[in-house]
């Protein structure tokens, strides 16, 4: 089943109409079982209705399908029908992974737009004929005073049908209500028609709310929580014109493509309004399945081969195929025509924190702007992703403007919460974008790039009416995942270089209507549609199982991190700690080091949790290396895994989006590529907008050069009075502006080493330990005896020490680099690649005897003990470390943790797998075949980033480019087993040893 949304049951869920009258369910087995699982009967005035628990309804529908053996693919839209060489049907679908072909015998189109009629170029003769029809939309409220009212009269100037709205009680009682309003709109079944309807009716929702909370006594204190993602309709203008057929007529459904049926033909062409009723539609579906006997779908999906290039065109279509991590089984598929084409000055792909603001500024700059987003509206993570407040980040500039717009709406709807109201933010952005004439394509997925040589000229977009192409003079990739840049061929790194780990994603969790709970769970590979679907299934099952637990989950998979596009400059964590200044600085971000996940930087491993820093963003971070015509904004900008946590705050990214739009407008007006514009002029403009200080225009940037005496005094100032992580202990409004001695010392380069060694000899106690850590950052062994003796003293007890430090904002481990103090020293020891470490690791392994639950303990930090030893041993790469690693692997919680099917609601299982992989990598680096076996076992793991990690490592170790195929690798291992040699891992990320060459703003 291919579903364009991220959830099922759209007639009740997308429309936000999770109710029905009790007798209606007769005739549908599915509905009956849904009522049993998640419906309850409520009195609504004089009548009764069945109301569903939204989250449980979504889960129930998924469970039913999965139990029946149906494979689900979310967030995917059909873009072509085809026949394969062996005369099978082919449905080509598009998504964030590009384009894939599903080979099947029969195709059943259950889409509300009757998409297959567009794909088959069959005219859809609709009885509505684009004329006025009636549509329904719903608002969800809490805190409504119970009055038994079912209908509320509203003023005629609102334009609501019959001047009344209908009330339906919500599942949770206590003032939880749905308010349905109907409006007459043009019924054209097209992208444009739909956009117009959605935008008009959404704006009306806020006006209606304003009326209710100000004029209707029972709504005086009501809070608007959410609203329909999609309209329900079209209904005939007069109810009596609505016809519902008892049974489905199969001859009304076929289209001019073999073995293909379009269910909504019956609705559009035969006027059967039964399809709009979820109960009736479910029973039609069941009837249909019985009628169509050749309904044998073979679950074989095949991805298209290579890039699809149209030879007749000066343009190239790029849809790379290596995004899907599993099932690479390629066939050739003919080129498809894309039948709707648009042009713009500026195309903004993605309308989230950065894209919404980018499009608005672009339009204000006079650019004809088109915006494409896969959500049904604007705001991305900040609205559909459920992140309803700023955290760190500068709040001035465009972010301040957006805040003001949102606050104005909140005032209208009497919202007083300290976080923003998501409906208000969606409205504020939509209303502004609409007013500025931005053409918006919602529920639309960018799935390919249009290029000419090295220039990006536009994108391919899948809509519910077919695919379209959009050409633009300048493109802004604001997908947050760098999708468009990656489609165009930009180089990127997924997550961390070493192991592809990313910060935890979130499927917004609404514990009750309007009440969000931030969550920190596991990883997703957004560029692999199978993994995307898995992450949705898993995300929805987290916290939802408590009796009245989670009311609903959001509709957008919000990744904290995904792809990092490699730009002309790649920012790393050392740049941030050294407070590097850039000649082409265009924005200044502000944050603590908000690492919600696993760090790979030696800084955090050494215990240095950074302070709140201001971080300059150079323009070149937005320019993908080797590619023109495009700017990348949002969290995909060119930075490492450990640099992203401090530059990803919403307000900073809203500002960056707007700044990119200024650059795009300059480029378009001057007929240049973004790379060619004069960044000095851009900076002048940004200064005028109040986003960067004027001094940036005239300042002179210099590197710091240390004299020998200064090096000695720098080492003298090394942190001894406080642990390094104390830097992070700052209030939110404080900004750290001094130098960090430990960082300066560790990044000067070789010339500091003699001074460090001398200081080491002359010192004692904690100073000696800290200097030993600094020496370890240079991979020097001099300080090893001190590190070992300090660690062994700390490990003298019968149990491993727990974390004692109180570190701000830490959640379940691994998080934020907060771990027991001894782990920092273990990581430092690991950097020295010294064999004497093995005895220490053995001691750790002997003390480890955890049960599964211990891994969840915030203070235990078990994850870090196992990780520190594994990471150290992989750098040592010595067969003598194998027994210790095997002992670690013997811990049941980290042994054979791979997962080959379905999803895991328990996110800790993934963290334990990450440890197993770390042990596996380490064993392999020490020359043990067992390590290779562990990695091979993960190749088929459903958690795409784990299998990606295993595959990357096997390729690095073997020097071979074999596919992700267990059998192929097993055969290879069988022949190579006896010849395996240790291969220490030598790379260092995020570390610089050249701080005397970089420009900085601190010059004393
Ligand atoms: C769970 C979580 C909690 C956070 N907490 C905070 C916080 O408290 N405060 C804070 O300031 N920051 C927080 N952050 C960070 C911040 O919210 C994000 O870094 C920021 O919103 C990212 O902005 P963006 O523009 O890069 O991406 P997004 O806002 O996610 O926007 C990307 C948009 O692109 C669209 N899109 C993606 N791919 C495609 C495609 N192929 N085709 C069409 N459209 C596409 C998406 O639908 C989306 O609308 C949090 C992030 C997360 C995930």
Please give the torsion angle defined by the CA atoms of residues 55, 58, 62 and 64, in that order, rounded to the nearest 10 degrees.
Answer: 100
Report CA(980)–ligand 1 centroid distance (Å): 44
Alpha helices per DSSP H over 861-1001? 862-876, 882-889, 908-925, 929-937, 944-958, 966-976
**How many Å apart are CA 844 and CA 863, to the nearest integer?**
12
* Distance, CA of 532 to CA of 736 (rounded, Å): 38
Ligand 1 centroid distance, CA of 354 (Å): 8
Higher pLDDT, residue 101 or 365: 365
Query: Given ligand 1 and candidates 350, 357, 506, 523, which is best to mutate, with the most ligand atoms within 8 Å of its CB?
Result: 350
Backbone φ/ψ region at 661: left (φ over 0), alpha (ψ -120 to 50), beta: alpha
CA distance 322 to 408: 46
Cα of 649 from ligand 1 centre, angstroms: 9
Report the atom number in ligand 1 closest to the C-alpha of 634: 26
DSSP string, 954-974: HHHHH-----S-HHHHHHHHH
Q: Give distance in angstroms: CA of 417 to centre of ligand 1.
A: 22
Structure tokens at 232: 């329900």
Q: How far is the CA of 526 from the centre of ligand 1 (A)?
A: 12
Shortest CA distance to 327 belongs to which of 307, 297, 298, 299?
Answer: 299
Nearest-CA residue for ligand 1 atom 51 is 560
Query: Is the distance from the beta carbon of residue 383 to the nearest atom of ligand 1 less than 6 Å?
Result: no
Q: How many whole angstroms separate alpha carbon 26 and alpha carbon 280?
A: 9
CA dist., res. 482 & res. 983, Å (int) = 33
pLDDT computed for residue 298 by the predictor: 39
Q: What is the pLDDT of residues 839-849, one digit of tens each?
A: 999 999 999 99
Is the CB of 483 inside a 6 Å radius of any atom of ligand 1?
yes
Mean pLDDT lowest for which of 20-24, 855-859, 945-949? 20-24
| Long-range contact set of residues 710-714: C-beta below 8 Å, sequence gap at least 24 | 711/748, 711/751, 711/752, 711/755, 712/755, 712/759, 714/741, 714/744, 714/745, 714/748, 714/752
Burial of 843 by CB count in 10 Å (0-12 exposed, 13-18 middle, 19+ buried)? middle
Handedness of CA 778, 784, 789, 792 (dihedral sign): positive
Do residues 109 and 118 touch, judged by C-beta distance below 8 A? Answer: no
**Where do runs of H (alpha helix) occur along 89-190?**
115-119
Q: Which residue has the higher pLDDT, 300 or 802?
A: 802
pLDDT tens for each residue of 84-122: 777 888 899 999 999 888 888 889 999 999 999 999 999
Does residue 506 have its Cβ closer than 6 Å to ligand 1? yes
- Ligand 1 pocket residue status of 357, Cβ below 6 Å: no
Reading the block at residue 659, the tokens are 């700044």
Q: Which atom of ligand 1 is nearest to the CA of 636?
A: 26
Per-residue pLDDT at 326? 64
Q: Ligand 1 centroid vs 356 CA: distance in angstroms?
A: 11
Q: Could you tell me which of 210, 217, 208 has the C-alpha nearest to residue 147? A: 217
- Is pLDDT above 70 for 332? no
What's the pLDDT at 297? 42
CA distance 332 to 894: 42
**pLDDT band at residue 25 under the 50/70/90 scheme:** low
Q: For ligand 1, say whether the CB of 516 is within 6 Å of any of its atoms.
A: no
| DSSP-derived 3-state class of residue 567 | strand
Give residues with Cβ within 8 angstroms of 73, minimum separation 6. Answer: 1, 2, 3, 93, 95, 529, 530, 533
The answer to whether the CB of 624 falls within 8 A of the CB of 563 is: no
| 697: region left, alpha or beta (phi > 0 left; psi from -120 to 50 alpha) | alpha
Q: Is it the case that residue 187 has pLDDT exceeding 60?
A: yes
Give yes or no for residue 560 CB within 6 A of ligand 1.
yes
Instruction: Report how far ligand 1's centroid is from the alpha carbon of 846 (Å).
Output: 43
Cβ atoms of 985 and 874 within 8 Å: the answer is yes
**Tell me: the pLDDT tens digits for 417-428?**
999 999 999 999
- 443 Cα: distance to centroid of ligand 1 (angstroms): 16
> Rounded mean pLDDT of 432-436?
98
**Count of CB atoms situated within 10 Å of the CB of 460:** 26
590-619 average pLDDT score:
98
Instruction: Note whether 71 and 80 are within 8 A (CB).
Output: no
Q: Which atom of ligand 1 is nearest to the CA of 558?
A: 53
Percentage of the chain lying above the pLDDT 90 cut = 86
Which is more confident, 777 or 327?
777
For a ligand 1 pocket test, name from 318, 430, 479 the mutation site with the most ligand atoms within 8 angstroms of its C-beta: 479
Question: Within the chain, what is the greatest distance between any pair of CA atoms?
Answer: 95
Query: Which atom in ligand 1 lies closest to the alpha carbon of residue 445?
Result: 42
Of 82, 11, 59, residue with least CA distance to 257: 82
Residue 997 confidence (pLDDT): 95
Helix (H, G, I), strand (E, B) or coil at 722: coil
Higher pLDDT, 583 or 298: 583
Is the CB of 838 inside a 6 Å radius of any atom of ligand 1?
Answer: no
Nearest 5°: phi and psi at 457?
-110, -10
DSSP state for residue 74 in the 8-state scheme:
-
How close is the Cα of 358 to the center of ligand 1, in Å?
14
Closest ligand 1 atom, residue 382 Cα? 21
For ligand 1, the distance from its centroid to the CA atom of residue 386, given in whole angstroms, is 10
Q: Band of the pLDDT at 328, cuts 50, 70, 90?
A: low
Q: What single-letter DSSP state applies at residue 298?
A: -
CA pseudo-torsion sign 291, 292, 298, 304? negative
Look at the pTM and tell me if it is higher than 0.95. yes
Instruction: Kindly state the helix (H) or strand (E) to which residue 617 belongs, with its residue range.
Output: strand 613-618
What are the tens digits of pLDDT across the range 138-169? 999 999 999 888 999 999 999 999 999 999 99
pLDDT greater than 80 at residue 1004: no
**Residues in Cβ contact with 1003 at an 8 Å cutoff, skipping those fewer than 6 apart:** 702, 704
**Is the CB of 654 within 6 Å of ligand 1?**
no
pLDDT band at 559 (very low <50, low <70, confident <90, very high): very high
Measuring from atom 53 of ligand 1, which residue has the nearest CA? 560
DSSP state, residue 218: G
From the CB of 393, is ligand 1 less than 6 Å away? yes
Residue nearest to ligand 1 atom 20, measured at CA? 650
**Is the CB of residue 872 below 6 angstroms from any atom belonging to ligand 1?**
no
Closest Cα to atom 4 of ligand 1: 387
Q: Are 614 and 646 in contact (CB under 8 A)?
A: no
What is the torsional sign of CA 749, 752, 757, 759?
negative
| pLDDT for 58 beyond 70 | yes
DSSP 3-state assignment of 67?
A: helix
Residue 539 CB less than 6 A away from ligand 1 = no
Which residues have a Cβ under 8 Å from the Cβ of 306 and sit 6 or more positions away? 321, 330
Cα dihedral 867, 872, 874, 875 sign: positive
Task: Tell me how many degrees the CA angle 814-817-821 measures, rounded to the nearest 5.
Answer: 105
Task: Give the mean pLDDT of 674-701.
Answer: 97
Measuring from atom 15 of ligand 1, which residue has the nearest CA?
649
Ligand 1 neighbour 373 (Cβ under 6 A): yes
Please state the φ and ψ torsions of residue 272, each to the nearest 5 degrees: -85, 100
Collapse the DSSP code of 99 into the 3-class scheme (helix H, G, I; strand E, B; otherwise coil) and give the result. strand
Point out the ligand 1 atom lying closest to the alpha carbon of residue 96: 41
Ligand 1 in reach of 482 Cβ (< 6 A): no
pLDDT value at residue 126: 87
Give the atom of ligand 1 at the shortest distance from the alpha carbon of 384: 49
The confidence score (pLDDT) of residue 548 equals 59
The two three-digit tokens of residue 212, written as one number: 């209710």
3-class SS letters over 113-136? CCHHHHHCCCCCCCCCCCCEEEEE
809 lines ligand 1 (CB under 6 A): no
Q: How far is the CA of 478 from the centre of ligand 1 (A)?
A: 9
How far is the centre of ligand 1, averaged over its atoms, from the C-alpha of 258 (Å)?
Answer: 41
Residue 543, number of CB atoms within 10 A of its CB: 17
Give the separation between CA 576 and CA 760, rounded to whole angstroms.
27
Phi and psi at 208, nearest 5°, equal -65, -45
Best of 75, 380, 461, 482 to mutate for ligand 1, by most ligand atoms within 8 A of CB? 380
d(CA 683, CA 585): 8
Mean of pLDDT over the chain: 94
Assign 469 a pLDDT band (cuts: 50, 70, 90).
very high
Cβ of residue 445 lying under 6 Å from some atom of ligand 1: yes
Q: Is the CB of 655 under 6 A from ligand 1?
A: no
Residue 353 Cβ inside 6 Å of ligand 1? The answer reads: yes
**Quick one: pLDDT at residue 85?**
74
How many angstroms separate the alpha carbon of residue 564 from the centre of ligand 1? 14
Q: How confident is the model at residue 28 (pLDDT cuts 50, 70, 90)?
A: confident
The CA distance from 847 to 839, in Å, is 13
Q: Is 446 in the pocket of ligand 1 (CB under 6 A)?
A: yes
pLDDT per position as a tens digit, 811-836 = 999 999 999 999 999 999 999 999 99
- Beta-strand pair 260-262/107-109: parallel
With a 6 A CB cut-off, is 352 part of the ligand 1 pocket? yes
Closest CA to 137 of 217, 73, 199: 199
Q: How far is the CA of 661 from the centre of ligand 1 (A)?
A: 18
* pLDDT of 110: 97
| CB 161 within 8 Å of CB 182 | yes
Mutate to test the pocket of ligand 1, among 381, 469, 475, 634 (most ligand atoms within 8 A of CB): 381
Asked if residue 132 lies in contact with residue 187, where contact means CB atoms within 8 angstroms, the answer is yes
Q: How confident is residue 46, by pLDDT bands cut at 50, 70 and 90? A: confident
899 C-alpha to center of ligand 1: Å? Answer: 28
Crossing angle of helices 944-958/908-925, nearest 10°? 0
Most ligand 1 atoms within 8 A of CB, residue of 387, 460, 536, 564 to mutate: 387
Burial (Cβ within 10 Å: 0-12, 13-18, ≥19) of residue 78? buried
- Ligand 1: does its nearest atom lie under 6 Å from the Cβ of 562? no
- pLDDT band of 910, cuts 50, 70, 90: very high
214 phi and psi, to 5 degrees? -95, -25
Contact indicator for 244, 440 with CB cutoff of 8 Å = no
- The better pLDDT of the pair 334, 196 is held by 196
Question: CB within 8 A of 716, min separation 6: which ones?
Answer: 759
3-state DSSP call for residue 978?
helix
Mind listing the pLDDT tens digit for each residue in 275-320? 999 999 999 999 998 887 654 443 444 455 545 555 467 777 777 7
Give the pLDDT mean for 722-740.
Answer: 97
Pocket test for ligand 1, best of 229, 352, 554, 587 (most atoms within 8 A of CB): 352
Does ligand 1 have an atom closer than 6 angstroms to the CB of 350? yes
Q: Is the CB of 635 under 6 A from ligand 1?
A: yes
What is the DSSP pairing of strand 47-52 with strand 39-44?
antiparallel
Q: Which atom of ligand 1 is nearest to the CA of 375?
A: 47
Q: Give pLDDT tens digits for 490-543.
A: 999 999 999 999 999 999 999 999 999 999 999 999 999 999 999 999 999 987
Q: How far apart are CA 574 and CA 568, in angstroms?
A: 17
pLDDT at 302: 47
């Amino acid at each position: 089943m291919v579903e364009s949304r991220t959830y099922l049951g759209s007639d009740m869920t997308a429309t936000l109409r999770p109710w029905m009258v009790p007798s209606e369910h007769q005739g549908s087995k599915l509905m009956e079982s849904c009522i049993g699982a998640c419906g309850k009967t409520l009195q609504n005035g004089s009548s009764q209705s069945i109301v569903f628990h939204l989250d449980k309804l979504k889960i129930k529908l998924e469970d039913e399908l999965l139990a029946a053996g149906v494979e689900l693919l979310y967030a995917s839209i059909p873009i072509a029908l085809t026949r394969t060489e062996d005369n099978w049907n082919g449905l080509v679908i598009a998504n964030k992974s590009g384009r894939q072909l599903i080979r099947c015998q029969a195709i059943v189109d259950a889409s509300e737009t009757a998409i297959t009629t567009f794909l088959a170029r069959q005219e859809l003769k609709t009885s509505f004929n684009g004329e006025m029809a009636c549509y329904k939309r719903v608002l969800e409220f809490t805190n409504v005073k119970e009055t038994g009212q079912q209908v509320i009269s509203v003023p005629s100037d609102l334009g609501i049908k019959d001047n009344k709205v209908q009330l339906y009680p919500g599942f949770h009682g206590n003032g939880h209500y749905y308010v349905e309003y109907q409006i007459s709109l043009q019924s054209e079944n097209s992208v444009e028609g739909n956009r117009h309807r959605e935008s008009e009716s959404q704006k009306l929702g806020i006006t209606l709310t304003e009326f209710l909370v100000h004029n209707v006594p029972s709504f005086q204190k009501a809070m608007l929580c959410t609203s329909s993602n999609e309209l329900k309709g079209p209904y005939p203008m007069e109810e009596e014109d609505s016809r519902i057929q008892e049974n489905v007529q199969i001859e009304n459904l076929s289209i001019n493509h073999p073995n293909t049926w379009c269910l909504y033909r019956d609705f559009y062409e035969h006027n059967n309004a039964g399809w709009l009723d979820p109960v009736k539609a479910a029973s039609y579906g069941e009837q249909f399945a019985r009628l169509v006997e050749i309904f044998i779908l073979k679950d074989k999906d095949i991805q298209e081969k290579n890039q699809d290039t149209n030879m007749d065109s000066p343009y190239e279509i790029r849809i790379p195929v290596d995004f899907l991590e599993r099932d690479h089984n390629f066939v050739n598929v003919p080129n498809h025509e894309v039948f709707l084409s648009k042009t713009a000055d500026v195309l903004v792909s993605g309308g989230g924190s950065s894209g919404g603001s980018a499009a608005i500024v672009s339009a204000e700059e006079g650019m004809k702007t088109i915006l494409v987003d896969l959500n049904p509206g604007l705001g991305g993570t900040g609205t559909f992703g459920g992140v309803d407040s700023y955290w760190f980040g500068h709040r001035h500039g465009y972010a301040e403007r957006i805040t003001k717009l949102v606050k104005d709406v909140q005032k209208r709807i009497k919202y007083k919460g300290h976080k923003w109201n998501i409906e208000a933010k969606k409205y504020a952005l939509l209303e502004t974008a609409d007013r500025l004439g931005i053409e918006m394509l919602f529920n639309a997925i960018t799935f390919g790039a249009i290029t000419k040589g090295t220039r990006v000229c536009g994108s391919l977009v899948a809509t519910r009416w077919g695919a379209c192409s959009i050409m633009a003079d300048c493109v802004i990739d604001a997908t947050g995942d760098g999708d468009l840049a990656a489609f165009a061929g930009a180089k990127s790194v997924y997550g961390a270089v070493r192991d592809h780990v990313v910060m935890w994603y979130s499927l917004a969790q609404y514990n009750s209507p309007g009440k969000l709970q931030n969550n920190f769970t596991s990883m997703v590979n957004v560029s692999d549609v199978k993994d995307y679907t898995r992450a949705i299934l898993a995300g929805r099952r987290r916290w939802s199982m408590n009796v009245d637990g989670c009311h609903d989950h959001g509709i957008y998979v919000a990744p904290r991190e995904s792809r990092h596009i490699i730009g002309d400059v790649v920012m790393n964590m050392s740049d941030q700690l050294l407070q590097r200044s850039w000649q082409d600085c265009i924005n200044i971000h502000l944050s603590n080091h908000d690492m919600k996940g696993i760090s790979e930087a030696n800084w955090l491993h050494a215990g240095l949790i950074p302070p709140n820093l201001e971080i300059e963003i150079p323009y070149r971070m937005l320019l993908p290396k080797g590619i023109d015509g495009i700017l990348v904004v949002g969290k995909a900008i060119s930075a490492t895994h450990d640099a992203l946590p401090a530059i990803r705050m919403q307000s900073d990214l809203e500002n960056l989006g707007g700044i990119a739009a200024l650059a795009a407008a300059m480029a378009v007006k001057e007929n240049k590529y973004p790379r060619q514009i004069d960044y000095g002029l851009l900076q002048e403009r940004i200064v005028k907008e109040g986003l960067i200080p004027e001094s940036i225009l005239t300042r002179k940037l210099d590197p710091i050069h240390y004299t020998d005496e200064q090096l000695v005094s720098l080492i003298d100032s090394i942190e001894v009075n406080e642990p390094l992580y104390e830097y992070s202990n700052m209030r939110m409004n404080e900004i750290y502006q001094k130098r960090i001695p430990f960082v300066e010392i560790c990044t000067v380069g070789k010339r500091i080493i003699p001074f460090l060694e001398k200081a080491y000899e002359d010192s004692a106690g904690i100073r000696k330990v800290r200097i030993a850590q600094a020496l370890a950052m240079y991979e020097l062994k001099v300080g090893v005896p001190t590190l070992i003796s300090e660690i062994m003293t700390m490990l003298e007890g019968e149990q491993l020490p727990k974390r004692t430090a109180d570190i701000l904002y830490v959640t379940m481990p691994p998080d934020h680099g907060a771990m027991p103090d001894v782990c920092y020293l273990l990581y430092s020891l690991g950097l020295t690649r010294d064999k004497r470490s093995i005895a220490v690791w053995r001691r750790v392994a002997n003390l480890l005897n955890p049960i599964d639950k211990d891994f969840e303990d915030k203070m235990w930090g078990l994850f870090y003990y196992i990780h520190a030893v594994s990471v150290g041993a992989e750098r040592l790469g010595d067969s003598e470390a194998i027994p210790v690693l095997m002992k670690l692997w013997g811990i049941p919680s980290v042994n054979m943790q791979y997962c080959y099917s379905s999803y895991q609601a328990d996110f800790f299982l993934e963290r334990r797998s990450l440890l197993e992989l770390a042990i596996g990598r380490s064993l392999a680096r020490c020359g043990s075949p067992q390590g290779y076996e562990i990695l091979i076992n993960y190749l088929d793991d459903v958690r795409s980033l784990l299998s990606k990690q295993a595959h990357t490592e096997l390729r690095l170790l073997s020097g071979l480019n074999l596919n992700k195929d267990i059998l192929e690798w097993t055969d290879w291992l069988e022949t190579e087993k006896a010849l395996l040699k240790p291969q220490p891992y030598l790379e260092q990320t995020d570390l610089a040893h050249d701080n005397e060459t970089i420009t900085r703003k601190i010059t004393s």
